[in-house]
A and B are shown apart, each in its own frame.
Chain A
Amino acid sequence: MVQFLVKRIFQTLVALWGVITLVFIILHFAGDPTLLMLPESATAEDVARLRSQLGFDRPLIVQYLSYMGQLLRFDLGTSYIQNLPVSEIIASRIPYTLTLAFAALLVAIGIGVPVGIIVGLNHGKMIEKILMPIVLIGQSMPTFWSGILLIMLFSIRWGVLPSSGADGAGAVILPAVSLGALSMATFARILRTSIIEEMDKPYVRAARAKGISFGKVFFRHVFRNSSIPLITIAAIELATLLAGAVIVETVFAWPGLGQLAVQAINSRDFSVVQAVVLLGSFVYIILNLIADLLYSIVDPRIKIQEKTS
């Protein structure tokens, strides 16, 4: 177990280093922000002065090493544009992104799991034929479109929910539904397939032969076995939600990390962009690690394989 964790943490660090390097290179080839930061009337000397002030005139490798040095001291740097520590900017956005991500996950699981169970248990029946297309629509609807649709209905026509911003508890509902619809469809589909597969396994028949009711057979045996694949899906979905729902946050003017990333990219605020990407990849990797650990808790067969490997 310890060996497994050490190995995984090492892999995590390597992956993060790769992500940082890649983002650093891409951003710096995309141009520097000095021109955007100065008024149009600025002279070439002004630009050059600002460049040297911010250190953009140094060779790329020097900039890279100094950035890495900063990161090793857990210093995310300063935003050139907002003139604030990046960590402070990020920290102010995290609660919003967390709220939205968990609200969306709640929508996804709250609807996706029951729908998955219903269609899985009614495979080949009318109700499956009705529900599955709806699920597919949920999955194939782009969020910018579903978001606008929701705003049109709930904010403009009926005026029951706010269309943008993050004031009050109601404000999270529309972005969460819009964002959760995608994951909801994934949960429903995966669970459906998994249930159909598990229902055919001999242990289901054997459990019924013991004289326990179908409900108990389903929830104690079939559902537990079917939900194993959901662990990975949930981790990936949550990571995606946390890494910043760029489109949804933009459509709903939700002040989370996704919106921050868009603003930072537009203004070439390097250190902020890098920090957001870094955080996103970190969350992704950590959630995957948690999913792997959860597997070994839920499925006893996996623990042994670790021991022997």
Chain B
Amino acid sequence: MNDTVFDVQNLSVGIDAKNIVENIAFSLGKGKILALVGESGCGKSMTALSLMKLLPKQAVLSADSIKLLGKEISSYSEKEMQQVRGNEISIIFQEPSSDLDPLMTVGKQIMEAIQSHSHCSAKDARGKALSILQRVGIPDPAERMKQYPFELSGGMCQRIMIAMALVCKPAVLLADEPTTALDVTIQAQILHLIKELASDMGTAVIIITHDMGVVAEIADDVAVMYAGNIVESGNVESIFSHPEHPYTRALLASIPALSGERKQKLNTIRGVVPDPSAWPKGCRFNTRCDFAQKECFQEIPLLLSVGEDNHKAACHNCLKLQG
């Protein structure tokens, strides 16, 4: 793959000498959308922050390699990261309304992002801000520029955040549950906007979500995370059509069906994601897995190829089935 823009190898995040995210590896082509899926507490958001090198102070990042546009950013200093953040890699978060400074007009906040990466006049920055606002579908952008975050709706704020993230045309956009805090109708609009802009601008997107519906809607590739690990990855068709890992299967089974018997109970996955301090020995899903066998309690399964198109899973049982 020559058009790889982002390549991560063996990334881990530790807090108090205990890893909460381990051995994350993926590679992302230009304009591709990767969905990072998993329940709350599985380390998705920490992974996103670590890619921006914006982890909280007590968290430590280690990685064999984080290559962004061919540059090894894992060894970058804070100063070097400032050049990269918002310019080559951007992020949007879950609560757009509180991600904006309440005392500054949204226009100024967008211009700030522009001016921190290019030495352009305020007038040019204003022009760029206006055109990106138009691009993300904000009506009457000149008027909106003068408004404060509290005067805008959540969906509007998320459009502003997207505008701010994309204004410098980054190679990669990280979207950490970008639609979780929004109304369902707005969710679809925002997802489509992200998808459309990504393909127009050639920006690769990593979308973090716990919503399989979102994944099906926009992703090209999927990586399913459980307890700090990627347990299954592959392109969206193969994951949805033949999920291999019991956790992925359970996630897919827990999507409520619109057709069929109404009174059917929703499928759930019993138990909760174990705390990093209480990860079980062997496969971390063994406490909740219906198929767990002796082996699963002893050895950590490796993420190995289970099919075509780079479909990989980390499960002892899948390997057995493969023979």
Chain A residues within CB distance 8 Å of chain B: 201-203, 205-214, 216, 220-221, 224-225, 298-301, 304
B104 at the A/B interface (Cβ < 8 Å)? yes
- In the complex the two chains form, what is the Cα distance from A214 to B100 in whole Å? 16
B-chain residues with CB within 8 Å of residue A205 when the two chains form the complex: 49, 54, 93, 99
Q: Chain A residues with Cβ under 8 A from B91's Cβ? A: 206, 209
Within 8 A of A (CB), among B44-78: 49, 52, 54, 78
**B12 contacts the other chain (CB 8 A):** no
CB neighbours of B85 from chain A (8 A): 208-211
Q: Which of B79, B93, B117, B151 is in CB contact (< 8 Å) with A202?
A: B93
Q: How far is the CB of B157 from chain A (nearest CB, A)?
A: 11
Known contacts A202-B95, A301-B148; is-contact A209 B90 (Cβ 8 Å): yes
Do A213 and B82 contact each other (CB < 8 Å), given the known contacts A220-B112, A225-B101, A299-B103?
yes
Q: How far is the CA of A69 from the CA of B82 in the complex (A)?
A: 68
* Residue on A nearest B91 in the bound complex, by CB: A209
- The total of Cβ contacts below 8 Å across the A-B interface reads 80
Chain B contact residues, CB within 8 Å of chain A: 49, 52, 54, 78-79, 81-87, 90-91, 93, 95, 98-104, 112-113, 116-117, 148, 150-151, 161, 164-165
Hey, which chain B residues are within 8 Å of A212, CB to CB?
82, 86, 112-113, 116
Residue of B nearest to A221 (CB): B101
Closest B-chain residue to A207, C-beta based? B101
Cross-chain contact B150 with A300 (CB below 8 angstroms): yes
Would you give the shortest CB distance from B159 to chain A, in whole angstroms?
14
A211 touches B87 (CB 8 A): yes
Residues of A within 8 A of B117 (CB): 211
Residue among B91, B99, B100, B117 with the most chain A CB within 10 A? B99
Judging by beta carbons under 8 Å apart, are A298 and B103 in contact? yes
Contacts A211-B85, A211-B86 known; list 8 others, CB within 8 Å: A207-B112, A209-B85, A211-B82, A211-B87, A212-B113, A224-B103, A299-B103, A300-B102
Q: What residues of A have a CB within 8 angstroms of the CB of B95 in the complex?
A: 202
Cα-based distance from A209 to B166 in the complex (angstroms): 12
Assess the A225–B116 pair: CB atoms within 8 A.
no
**Could you say which residues of chain B place their CB within 8 Å of the CB of A208?**
54, 85
Would you mind naming 14 contact pairs between A and B with Cβ atoms under 8 Å apart?
A201-B98, A205-B93, A206-B99, A206-B161, A210-B86, A211-B85, A211-B87, A211-B113, A212-B113, A214-B78, A220-B104, A300-B102, A301-B148, A304-B151
